Structure 1
């Protein structure tokens, strides 16, 4: 079965939901893992979208999926703020090295 563009949106939403669940559990390594999965899926979506169009019957579903992804992202950011602040404190005073 050939994946349709809407399947990529659904997969991105699924990874976004898993990322939120990991953030709620304060499992930041899992958050980063799912963030990477989202990035790969987004790249694949961009590539496919260059040669394929989203059928009109999927456009409303896409909008709803995107809204849910944005809500997940907002919640993840809220959950991550204390962790990021703690990370910044740890990094203060540390020698900065370039790799």
Structure 2
């Protein structure tokens, strides 16, 4: 059986992978895929919250968690930068003339 702290780190690594895939989807303008992957991240985050509350990480594991979190934050910032022009256009469109299509 795996140690709980290894399971927690595996969750963080899975989140990092999902966030990288979200960035790839955003870079190809596949916002449906971004939303799909975001949903998968939400599920994983809930699992992580349940697993991580009673787990004590070693200094090395905390350092790895920190590295992963920074990577996820970088991915998120890049996704937001790609989404901002679309969001700005959407916000500047009068509500009555907004199309339901998000493409």
Query: TM-score w.r.t. structure 2 length?
Result: 0.81
Match of residue 97 from structure 1: none
Q: Distance in 1 between matches of 2:77 and 2:50?
A: 26
Consecutive unaligned residues in structure 1, runs of 5 or more: 95-99
Two-structure CA RMSD over aligned residues (Å):
2.0
Which deviates more, 64-73 or 82-91?
82-91
- Pairing partner for 1:7 from 5, 10, 19: 10
Which deviates more, 43-52 or 5-14?
43-52
Aligned ranges for residues 1-99 of structure 1 at < 5 Å? Answer: 2=2, 4-89=7-92, 92-93=95-96
Corresponding pairs, count: 95
Consecutive unaligned residues in structure 2, runs of 5 or more: 98-103
Query: TM-score w.r.t. structure 1 length?
Result: 0.84
Distance 1:35 1:91, change over 3 A: farther
What SS does the corresponding residue of 2:62 show, helix, strand or coil?
helix
